[in-house]
Amino acid sequence: MRINEHTCVSTTKVVLVPYSTHHVPKYHGWMKDPDIQEATASEPLTLEEEYAMQRSWRDDADKLTFIICRPHHRDGVGRREQQSHAQAEEGKDPLDRQYRCEIDAMIGDVNLFISTADDDSGHGGEILVGELELMIAEAAHQRQGYGRAALLAFLKYIVHYESEILAEFQQAAGDNHDAQHHRGPVAAAPTLDSDRHRFDHLSVKIGRTNSRSMALFESLAFRKTSEAPSYFGEYELRLSRAGLGDLIVHVEADDPAAARRGLLTGYCEAGYACC
């Protein structure tokens, strides 16, 4: 998705940057880990395939992704290490130095897949659904609050730009339908529910043994759709669109517990030079 290709989102706890080509080698290294492959239900890719996947995430209008980083401009490395690193990098392009610091600070990613589904409320038509994925790749950075902070920052970004995100998705869907129509008879384009620029709900699928992820999403008001896992051993949890709005309002309120964890504290957006 193109909407976020020049946007960096930050809080005091995490920095979210668009998934770009300079991130691919480190990301590829993460995805060689069998535990990560199992947790994300992923197949190993070659480096060339990983670059192709990055381009897909950038170009496809049904996918939105950010790389999660520690706030490296604040506490990514110690002062002495910063000085040593700066001396070693002296004379190199400033943007290249920025990317190197950013790669060192990478800890995971957060993603949104957009799709339509049949409206089972009896109104007919189709609804818009967003499926979330969250990964903190290395054990050293897990259980540090990074996943919660990244997820909340991502959800706030989605709320802010919901109309624009869904407009990009629907424009691409319309273009694809028109292209197919020129090749021959096709089915009519799906009829969306009356609110074309709002999600009906967000969902996440979590393996039945992943108790930590389950606890995280349930603490943010996501609820299981069934007490039994699916055939694939996963639970689906959902949060309604109204519940999403309530969640962001609650976290942004004067909540001492949230403030202590740095959740959404200092949230801001800035321009980003991507490649």
Pick from 213, 216, 210: nearest CA to 232 = 210
As a whole number, mean pLDDT of residues 247-264 equals: 73
142: nearest Cα among 48, 64, 210, 92: 210
170: helix, strand or coil: helix
In a domain, 100, yes or no: yes
- Check pLDDT > 50 for residue 137: yes
Nearest CA among 49, 56, 48, 67 for reference residue 1: 56
Question: What's the rounded Cα separation, in Å, for the pair 136 and 142?
Answer: 6
- Per-residue pLDDT at 38 exceeds 80: yes
Mean of all residue pLDDT scores within the chain: 86
Instruction: Provide the pLDDT for residue 84.
Output: 47
Residue 91 has pLDDT above 80, yes or no: no
| The predicted structure's pLDDT at residue 275 | 62
Q: Lowest-confidence range among 20-34, 117-131, 256-270?
A: 256-270
pLDDT at 125: 83
Collapsing DSSP states into helix, strand and coil, what is residue 4? coil
Quote the CA–CA distance of 211 and 214 in Å, as a whole number. Answer: 5
Confidence of residue 184 (pLDDT cuts 50, 70, 90): low
Q: Which domain holds residue 124?
A: 7-271
**Pick from 32, 26, 14: which is nearest to 103 by CA?**
26
Tokens, residue 169? 């998705």
Other C-beta atoms within 10 Å of 12: how many?
16
Identity of the residue numbered 119: D
Stretch (H or E) spanning 7: strand 7-10
pLDDT at 197 over 90: no
**Residue 130 pLDDT:** 98
- Whether residue 2 lies inside any domain: the answer is no
Q: Which of 9-23, 215-229, 230-244, 248-262 has the lowest mean pLDDT?
A: 248-262
Residue 69 burial class via C-beta count within 10 angstroms: exposed 0-12, middle 13-18, buried 19 and up: buried
Whether 1 is in a domain gets the answer no
The pLDDT, as a whole number, for residue 273 is 83
Answer yes or no: is pLDDT of 181 > 50: no
Residue 241 belongs to domain with CATH number: 3.40.630.30
As for how many domains the chain has, the answer is: 1
The DSSP output letter for 86 is H
Q: Which two tokens stand for residue 244?
A: 């999403």
Residues 6+ apart with CB under 8 A from 64: 1, 3, 4, 111, 112, 114, 158, 165
pLDDT score, position 259 = 52
Q: Would 52 be classed as within a structural domain?
A: yes
What is the residue type of 148? Answer: R
Quote the pLDDT of residue 75.
Answer: 40
